[in-house]
Structure 1
């Protein structure tokens, strides 16, 4: 296949590069920024897409953030490719503070309590819920009795508060990224158009200069 990697990565390499990219997070950030700036669309639509992607990073739907971002961009007439790039806002370096903010906000709005120091209230309950899903899937094909207790605890104490609490911080972060992105993208596009125009002007002048002696000779 033409696009197949020559150096096949092991599962360990894939996992490690997800946590820390080969070129570092700074290089990855600049790559995404460069790709977003070069999108052939208006600054406003690109910025709306970025905002939708940032908002998606504040949702608890891990694994389908791309889909949430694309749907959000579609609803607000934003650039879908920019929305996919905007989900970069959520990464292994920001997932923990985003999760804490969303959980604290959600429990506050719901009138419940969130104990930040209790690891079982966040990381442990993810593992418990995953264990419930695995065991109950096996129970469908065996005589084992299904038990949804841990999954119910995860929904009540983590997922639902996270989902409710992520709305306001997600909207705020998305709006900030929108208003910061518009002037930056506009300035970049104007500078890029000026460079392209100057390049074509130089080519035209060179062509005219080469053609001028020929016309005089005639």
Structure 2
């Protein structure tokens, strides 16, 4: 029922993942619209955005929604805003984020990254996931396990990424909070003002209708007394 009439090819699917229908500008406008309509205080919404943006600097690919939601609960932020905030991380920003986080992490740990970051990071993520799957399978079947790929992934990617992502993640998250808070406050004030104007207009029209009915009733009563 919900299948496409013209299924996308592999190439089209990859391109759609990198460039959504309507472009990233349209996607950003959608996120902006959803954030504005959230029924919560500006501070809670901004805290949610802050932890959502921060989460994109962590190496928990595939789990960013869960991490952002958990952090939103901890800081008493809006969970939906946190989920929307994770869209700061997308195919156009993940590589720069990874490069900055990994290089900074290795610098802080006093280690070196083997190979080009943007060339092998996702390959190491894949190999680590593959090793985890087969080692879990080996544990159930009694076959020998090999954690070499997982150890390389931990030392070369995960730990440096986790440590190095803290500084730019915190900085960018706080910047997002600082920028979003006054904008959301201004939007909500303007929206409350518009709602007040509409409510006053509704009350005015209701009062006019009630007054017109009262005048009509008084006029009919006066005519009845005159005829009597």
1:201 positional shift: 1.5
Gaps of 5+ in 1: 1-5
Specify whether residues 120 and 27 from structure 1 end up closer, same or farther in structure 2 by C-alpha distance, changes over 3 A only: closer
Deviation for aligned residue 1:175 = 0.2
143 and 115 in structure 1: CA distance in 2 versus 1, 3 angstrom threshold = closer
Tell me which residue corresponds to 2:69: 70
- 1:120-135 equivalence runs, <5 A: 121-135=120-134
Partner of 1:3: none
In 2: Cα distance, 1:17 partner to 1:120 partner: 22
| Cα deviations by residue, 1:48-98 (Å, 9 ceiling, x for unpaired) | 111011111111111111111112112212111111111111111111111
Partner residue in 2 for 1:153: 152
Alignment TM-score, normalising by the size of structure 1: 0.87
TM-score normalised by the chain length of structure 2: 0.84
For the aligned residue pairs, the C-alpha RMSD in angstroms reads 2.2
How far apart, in 2, do the equivalents of 1:66 and 1:43 lie? 21
Match of 1:213 in 2: 212
Please show how residues 1-218 of structure 1 align to structure 2 within 5 Å: 6-8=1-3, 12=10, 17-114=16-113, 117=116, 121-142=120-141, 144-217=143-216, 218=218
Q: How many residues align?
A: 213
Rounded Cα–Cα distance in structure 2 between residues aligned with 1:52 and 1:117:
29
